Structures are given as structure tokens and as C-alpha cells.
Amino acid sequence: MAEADNSRETKEFYLDVPWKAEPFFLKGSNALGWGMQDRLARIFSPRSGRTVMLAIDHGYFQGPTSGLERVDVNIVPLIPFADALMLTRGILRAVIPPTSVKPIVLRASGGPSILKELSNEQIAVEAEDAVRLNVSAMAVQVYIGSEFETQSVHNLTRLVDVGNRFGIPVLGVTAVGRNMTRDAKYLRLACRICAELGAHFVKTYFVEEGFDSVTASCPVPVVMAGGKKVAELDALKLAYAATQQGALGVDMGRNIFQSDAPQAMIQAVRQVVHEKATPEQAFDLYRTLKQERLTAVASAQKV
């Protein structure tokens, strides 16, 4: 039997110290439950308030995308440099070592391939499996203005209900249909709809004109989608401009894994996002790391 604990005089109750009640660091997330906030704090760095997510979920509608043919060879070495991985449960289970201990943003919608109408998606994961996989968030595509707009919005709201039940945040991904104009007016509409209907954070594209109005009018964190591969310096400029205009990080895929030096590139992106380096400073880092790697490979080949 435990000894009775009656030594009141030897205890310190700090009677003059008020209990701390710190607001949660992420925009629009203060009223969320502990599990939800904990998961978001794994994705977004509490130090910088930002994230560098590595998106490798492309295969869910377009198969073995260039750079993702062998995720074990090309992507696993990048994992240490990412704050979170966005991917499907198939690749997660088959390829990603559980010892990576990286937050997972699980692709939770799907259905059509690139050969069909992409907006015709459905929820592709049961909540129980998301819990079993210990994911930190679930991602769903929202096709505002496309043929299956309502269905995709309904996918979002159903996932939000499930996420709320289990404490798993939902990422609303604004997919710009073929006939949509990718401008600030459209993205304001799409991001705001995602947030109004319960998305805990939103992923959207950068636009040159008025991106700050997209982030300002979205009440939850916005992360920038990478988009098609451009030159490394240009991709760093995009990440810089987006974070300067209110994005709380990036969810970048092709501009990292299709780079000629993916490890150097993801570290350069981190410099922009977390350390607020200019694109030129980050590009210098990219070039230095790329050269170091080339030198290391060359000397390993000589041995």
C-alpha cells in the first residue's frame, strides 16, 4: 500500500504563479481539440509556424510520375528533410519505413484517373484505416466550378466530420479544373469554401496578382501547392513570394523530386520557408549542396 502523502509543508504549489493559458500558434486553430492541435503542431513547426510538406501522392490519379517511379530509391532519402509527407496509403504501407517517424498527410480522396473526369472523386479511405496508420491529417481534393463540384465538397464535409470525431485535421486541396481561370478571385472562392465547410488547413496555388488576398480571406492556414516543374531559382521565388504573402509553408512535389538535386532543393526550400532566406540566398545553398554531393559521388566512385 502506498504511504499516505500528508507532508504538505514539503510541497511547492506555486500559489502565486497563475496557470499558463497560451493561445495555439496556428491561425484559426485555437478552438480545436488537443489531439487536433497536437497533429497540426507535428506538421507545422511551432518554432517558425510554417511547414515544408513533401507531396508524392501524384500516383493516385496519374500512375508512376517522373521522379516517383521508385519511391524507395528517390524519395526515402528526402524524408529527413521534410516536415510532413503527403501520400497515399498504398505507398505509405509498401515503401515508407515506419521508423521515419514523419507526420503523414494521407491522400483520402480518389477515383478517376487522368483518362477520365478528375472531379469525379470519392472518399478513398475509411477513418479506421487513417487511425490505424496513425496519420496526422487527411487530404481531400475540392473541385470548385468543375462538373462534380458538389460531390467533391461533400467529400470534404464528410471527411471533416470523421476528422473531428478522431481528432485528425483535414487538408482541403483546391483543384483548378481545366476550364477554370487560375487567379486570385477563383482561389479566394475555393479556399474560403474549403475553410467555411470545415477544412482545418488549405492547399492552393500561388498567383502573381493578389495572392495576399487569398491568404487574408482564408481563416485557416494556407500552404502553397508547388505546381509543374520550373527552374530551381524560380521555384524558390514562388515559395518566397507565397510565404511573404501569408502562406504558412508549402506542399511541394515535382519542384523537389524532379530537381536535378532533390536533397539540395528541399533544403533550399526549407531555408526560404523556415529561415526566411531570400530566393537568391537559398539558391546559393542549393548550388553548394549540389556541388558537395557531386564531389562526394565522384570520390566514392574513385575508391
Positions touching ligand R5P (CB under 6 A) are: 55, 57-58, 141, 173, 175, 225-227, 252-255
Given a contact cutoff of 8 angstroms between Cβ atoms, the answer to whether 140 and 109 are in contact is yes
Smallest distance, ligand R5P to C-beta of residue 34, A: 28
Smallest distance, ligand R5P to C-beta of residue 277, A: 20
CA angle 242, 247, 248 (to 5 degrees): 130
The sign one gets for the Cα dihedral 150, 217, 186, 44 is negative
Nearest position to ligand R5P, beta carbon: 226
Smallest distance, ligand R5P to C-beta of residue 257, A: 8
β-pair type (109-110, 104-107): unpaired
Nearer to ligand R5P, 51 or 141 (CB): 141
Set 102, 203, 237, 290: catalytic member:
203
Quote the CA–CA distance of 214 and 191 in Å, as a whole number. Answer: 7
Nearer to ligand R5P, 32 or 53 (CB): 53
Among residues 41, 60, 28, 156, which one has the least CA distance to residue 103?
A: 41
If phi > 0 it is left, if psi is from -120 to 50 it is alpha, else beta; for residue 190 that is alpha
Nearer to ligand R5P, 36 or 235 (CB): 235
Nearer to ligand R5P, 32 or 279 (CB): 279
Q: Catalytic residue at 27?
A: no
Smallest distance, ligand R5P to C-beta of residue 60, A: 7
As annotated, the active-site residues are 203
